[in-house]
């Protein structure tokens, strides 16, 4: 086995373990928390997770720029003093920004519980944004082991505290949020330890730091806005669901989204390792790798959709109070197909090819479409079913137009593959909506078998592609 493949597999093993444990923790929390807390408390907890997912974007592209500029570099060769000054300026900036947000919200809010949610989400942001500078630097310089441990410490601490609180009957949403913040705090301490040269040390002259910040923001702002727009595609729909149908319905739909998104934890593990590796890969080999990985990914993901029926049966019996929302699981389950492809393959390739501007354009187009569709389905039609179905449609639209662009750059034809993906997704949604187990299970299994037969030649090429990869011909 060549050294390059050995390093990739070793790094992947670190992220695999960390993200696999994170996925197990997420599954357990998804199953346990709604069982022991009220639907309204679960709604506020999900609202905190929703808000805190946006606080991480208060770096204004600084950390994203570091990730792009230093991707593939060696950690030992970094100009550490420049990172130290950027880190502490980012800390001070975020304290100021979130203080203003908290004061502004308190002066205008009427829901006391939402005030608590916003306050704690801002505290989370103060912790997460500076840590992202360290995380991105570790990822970019291929220190995947340390990055994985940071994530693992956060998730394990969070999980243990949630279980302890629930065990002692502390079952309100505030304690769940405190558990999350405590986990983030402990992970930051470890991040400080493994990258202390980026936190403590002599700082350069201010003009050097400002020039570096300007460059990083200039490079990273497009990626940050692209990622933020990506989050808004679903975020806009979720925001208006909460506004129109309330916190409790928001929580129930969020539970279904969380179940559908569990596979993304594993997919993100792959993309973390893939980016610095592709940055070191020749342009000629990128097309071969893309086609091979796309085939592997889609065959696996469509196969995993079979898990819907046992999951729906188990969850309906375990969480009877959420049976009403679990009927939407069949509509949302396929979202992992398009989100996974976009996150792991398409966006990773766009970043590798330094086409962040196109990623931004595709995401902004889809955000505008999301806003338009949401207004129609919620405020004109007032139809929750169509609103939820629109999430999958929007993610599919963004994935397809982005992949068509990547395929044009790589000079490969993927239109046929996209048509098969759309057909099988529509078949799955239709079958799960109209047919229960076991007939629905059998019908989808037949469709998936036909899909495998059609893709048999591409599946056969996977073995050839892996042989090329293992010999180091990339």
Residue 317, both tokens: 């019996």
Tens-place pLDDT, residues 409-448: 888 888 888 898 899 999 999 999 888 888 989 999 999 9
Tens-place pLDDT, residues 288-316: 778 877 888 888 889 888 888 888 888 88
Is residue 344's pLDDT more than 80?
A: no
Helix 112-140, helix 173-194: angle, nearest 10: 20
The domain segmentation of the chain, as residue ranges, is 1-204, 221-474
The model's pTM is 0.80
Task: Provide the pLDDT for residue 144.
Answer: 80
Is residue 465's pLDDT more than 70?
A: no
**Band of pLDDT at residue 474, cut at 50, 70 and 90:** very low
Rounded-to-integer distance, Cα 42 and Cα 152, Å = 24
Share of the chain above pLDDT 70, in %: 89
When mean pLDDT is compared across 5-9, 184-188, 199-203, 341-345, the lowest value belongs to 5-9
The count of other CB atoms within 10 Å of the CB of residue 355 is 19
Task: Provide the pLDDT for residue 12.
Answer: 57
**Band of pLDDT at residue 258, cut at 50, 70 and 90:** confident
Task: Provide the pLDDT for residue 174.
Answer: 93
Residue bearing tokens 């913040």: 181
Look at the alpha carbons of 295, 298, 304, 309 in this order and tell me if their dihedral is positive or negative.
Answer: negative
Tens-place pLDDT, residues 113-149: 889 999 999 999 999 988 988 988 888 887 888 888 8
Under 8 Å CB-to-CB from 284, ≥6 apart: which residues? none
């Amino acid at each position: 086995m060549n050294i390059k493949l050995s390093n990739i597999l070793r790094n992947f093993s670190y992220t695999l373990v960390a993200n696999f444990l994170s996925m197990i923790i997420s599954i357990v929390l998804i199953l346990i928390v709604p069982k022991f807390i009220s639907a309204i408390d679960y709604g506020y907890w999900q609202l905190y997770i929703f808000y805190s997912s946006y606080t991480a974007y208060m770096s204004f592209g600084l950390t994203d720029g570091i990730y792009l500029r230093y991707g593939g570099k060696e950690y030992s060769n970094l100009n550490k003093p420049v990172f130290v000054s950027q880190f502490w300026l980012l800390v001070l900036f975020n304290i100021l920004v979130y203080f203003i947000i908290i004061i502004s919200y308190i002066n205008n809010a009427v829901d006391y519980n939402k005030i608590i949610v916003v306050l704690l989400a801002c505290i989370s942001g103060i912790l997460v944004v500076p840590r992202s500078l360290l995380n991105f630097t570790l990822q970019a310089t291929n220190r995947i082991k340390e990055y994985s441990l940071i994530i693992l410490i956060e998730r394990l601490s969070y999980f243990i505290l949630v279980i302890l609180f629930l065990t002692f009957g502390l079952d309100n949403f505030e304690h769940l949020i405190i558990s999350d913040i405590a986990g983030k705090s402990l992970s930051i301490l470890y991040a400080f330890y493994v990258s202390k040269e980026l936190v403590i040390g002599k700082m350069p002259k201010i003009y050097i730091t400002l020039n570096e910040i300007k460059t990083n923001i200039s490079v990273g702002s497009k990626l940050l806005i692209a990622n933020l727009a990506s989050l808004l595609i679903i975020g806009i729909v979720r925001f208006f669901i909460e506004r129109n149908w309330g916190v409790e319905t928001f929580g129930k739909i969020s539970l279904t989204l969380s179940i559908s998104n569990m596979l993304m934890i594993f997919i993100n593990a792959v993309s973390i390792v893939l980016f610095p590796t592709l940055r070191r890969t020749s342009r000629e080999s990128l097309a071969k790798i893309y086609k091979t990985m796309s085939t592997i990914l889609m065959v696996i993901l469509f196969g995993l959709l079979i898990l819907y029926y046992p999951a729906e049966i188990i969850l309906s019996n375990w969480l009877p109070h959420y049976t009403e929302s679990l009927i939407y699981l069949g509509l949302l389950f396929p979202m992992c197909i398009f989100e996974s492809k976009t996150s792991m393959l398409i966006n990773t390739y766009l970043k590798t090819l330094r086409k962040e501007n196109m990623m931004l354009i595709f995401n902004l187009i889809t955000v505008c479409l999301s806003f338009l569709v949401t207004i129609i389905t919620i405020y004109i039609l007032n139809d929750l079913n169509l609103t939820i179905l629109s999430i999958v449609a929007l993610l599919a639209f963004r994935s397809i137009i982005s992949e068509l662009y990547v395929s044009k750059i790589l000079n490969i034809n993927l239109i046929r593959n996209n048509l098969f993906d759309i057909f099988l997704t529509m078949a799955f949604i239709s079958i799960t909506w109209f047919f229960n187990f076991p007939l629905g299970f059998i019908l989808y299994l037949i469709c998936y078998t036909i899909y495998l037969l059609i893709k048999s030649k591409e599946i056969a090429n996977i073995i050839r592609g892996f042989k090329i990869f293992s010999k180091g011909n990339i």
